[in-house]
Structure 1
Amino acid sequence: MSIRAFRSPRIWALPVIMIALLSLALPACYLSGITDPQANLHQLPVALVLEPQQPAASSSADLDGAAESVAAAVRTGTDPEKIQIVAMSTAEMTDAFRDDDIYGAVVVPSDFDRGLRNLVSPPPGTTPSRPVVTIVNNAGDGNLAAGLVNSNVTPVLAAIQRTMGERLPPSADPYRGLAMQEPFLVRTASDRVLPPKSGAGLTPFYLALVTILIGFIGASAIHPSIDAAIGFTPSEVGPMTSRRPYRRATRTTTLLAKLTVLLAVAPIAAALLQLIATSVIGVSMGQPLVMWLLLTAAIAAVGVGALSVFAIFGGPGALINTFFFVALSLASGPAVPAEALPGWLRTLTSVTAMQPILDGVRAVLFFDGRSEAGLTHAWTRIGVGAAVGLALGLVTTWLYDRNPGFSRHPDAERPVVAEPTPARA
Structure 2
Amino acid sequence: MPKDPAPSEVSGASKPGVPLRGWIAPIFVITLLAALLGTMYLGYTSDPEKNLHDFPIALVNQDDGDILDGKPVNIGDQITDALTEQIPADKIDLHVIGISEAQRELADGKVYGEIVIPSDFTKRLSILAAASVVPGDVERPVITVHTNPRASTYAASIVQRISDRAMAQVNTTVGTQLTAQVKTKLAPAPGAAPTELSGAARLQLAKPIDVVVSPFRPLPEGTGQGLSAFFYTLILLFVGFSGAMIIHAMVDNVLGYVPAEYGPWYRHIAPVAISRWRTLLVKWAMAAVTAPIASGVFLAIAKILDMPIEHPLPLFLYGALAITAVAVTGLSVLAAFGTAGLLINMIVFVVLGLPSSSGSIPIEATPRYIGFLANFEPMHQIYLAVRSLLFFDGHLAAGLGTGLWMTVLGLTLGILLGAIATHTYDLRGLYRLGVSHKPVEAGDDLLVQ
**TM-score computed with the length of structure 1 as normaliser:** 0.91
Shift of 1:410: 4.1
Distance 1:334 1:256 in 2: 33
1:188 to 173, 192, 213: 213
Q: Please tell me the residue identity of whatever aligns with 1:310.
A: L
Does 2:323 correspond to 1:299?
Answer: yes
Distance 1:260 1:9 in 2: 41
1:95 aligns to what? 104
Distance 1:238 1:211 in 2: 30
1:388 aligns to what? 413
Map Cα deviations across residues 36-88 of structure 1 (whole Å, 9 max, x no partner). Answer: 122221121111111243x86x7446882122212221111211111111122
Distance 2:300 2:148 in 1: 28
Shift of 1:313: 1.1
Does 2:144 correspond to 1:141?
Answer: no
Q: Please tell me the residue identity of whatever aligns with 2:349.
A: F
1:151 to 153, 157, 161: 161
1:343 aligns to what? 368
Runs of 5+ unmatched residues, structure 1 = 417-425
Provide closer, same or farther for how the CA distance between residues 359 and 265 of structure 1 changes in structure 2, counting only shifts above 3 A. same
Q: Please tell me the residue identity of whatever aligns with 2:38.
A: P
Shift of 1:95: 0.8
Provide closer, same or farther for how the CA distance between residues 61 and 385 of structure 1 changes in structure 2, counting only shifts above 3 A. farther
Classify the secondary structure of the residue corresponding to 2:50.
helix
2:232 aligns to what? 207
Does 2:339 correspond to 1:330?
Answer: no
Distance 1:128 1:407 in 2: 84
2:382 to 357, 361, 384: 357
Map Cα deviations across residues 226-268 of structure 1 (whole Å, 9 max, x no partner). Answer: 0011111112222222123321111111111000000001000
1:43 aligns to what? 54
Shift of 1:324: 1.0
Classify the secondary structure of the residue corresponding to 2:318.
helix
2:311 aligns to what? 287
Superposition map of 1:251-290 within 5 A: 251-279=276-304, 281-290=305-314
2:187 aligns to what? none
1:23 aligns to what? 34
Q: Is the 8 A contact 1:230 1:247 kept in 2?
A: yes
Q: Please tell me the residue identity of whatever aligns with 1:304.
A: V
Provide closer, same or farther for how the CA distance between residues 283 and 148 of structure 1 changes in structure 2, counting only shifts above 3 A. same
Distance 1:12 1:299 in 2: 36
2:422 to 397, 406, 416: 397
Shift of 1:11: 4.1
Shift of 1:13: 3.2
Q: Please tell me the residue identity of whatever aligns with 2:273.
A: R
Classify the secondary structure of the residue corresponding to 2:58.
strand
Q: Is the 8 A contact 2:152 2:362 kept in 1?
A: no
Q: Please tell me the residue identity of whatever aligns with 1:374.
A: G
Classify the secondary structure of the residue corresponding to 2:145.
strand
1:372 aligns to what? 397
Moved more, 354-363 or 155-164: 155-164
2:87 to 78, 90, 93: 78
2:269 aligns to what? 244
Provide closer, same or farther for how the CA distance between residues 124 and 172 of structure 1 changes in structure 2, counting only shifts above 3 A. closer
Distance 2:80 2:259 in 1: 71
Q: Is the 8 A contact 1:228 1:235 kept in 2?
A: yes
Instruction: Determine which structure has the larger helix proportion and give its number.
Output: 1
Q: Is the 8 A contact 2:229 2:390 kept in 1?
A: yes
Q: Is the 8 A contact 1:42 1:339 kept in 2?
A: yes
Distance 1:233 1:341 in 2: 42
Q: Please tell me the residue identity of whatever aligns with 1:375.
A: L
**TM-score computed with the length of structure 2 as normaliser:** 0.86
Moved more, 248-257 or 235-244: 235-244
Distance 2:17 2:445 in 1: 30
Provide closer, same or farther for how the CA distance between residues 295 and 255 of structure 1 changes in structure 2, counting only shifts above 3 A. same
Q: Is the 8 A contact 1:49 1:108 kept in 2?
A: yes
Shift of 1:10: 4.9
Does 2:123 correspond to 1:114?
Answer: yes
Q: Please tell me the residue identity of whatever aligns with 1:85.
A: L
Q: Is the 8 A contact 2:63 2:117 kept in 1?
A: no
Distance 1:221 1:331 in 2: 25
Distance 1:407 1:285 in 2: 46
Does 2:369 correspond to 1:312?
Answer: no
Shift of 1:8: 4.6
Shift of 1:2: 6.0
2:188 aligns to what? none
1:176 to 191, 195, 201: 201
1:421 aligns to what? none
Distance 1:307 1:326 in 2: 15
Distance 2:48 2:411 in 1: 31
Distance 2:78 2:446 in 1: 95
Classify the secondary structure of the residue corresponding to 1:40.
coil
1:163 to 161, 173, 194: 173
Distance 1:252 1:14 in 2: 30
Aligned length: 413
Distance 2:372 2:233 in 1: 20
Classify the secondary structure of the residue corresponding to 1:219.
helix
Give me the identity figure in percent: 30
Q: Please tell me the residue identity of whatever aligns with 2:61.
A: L
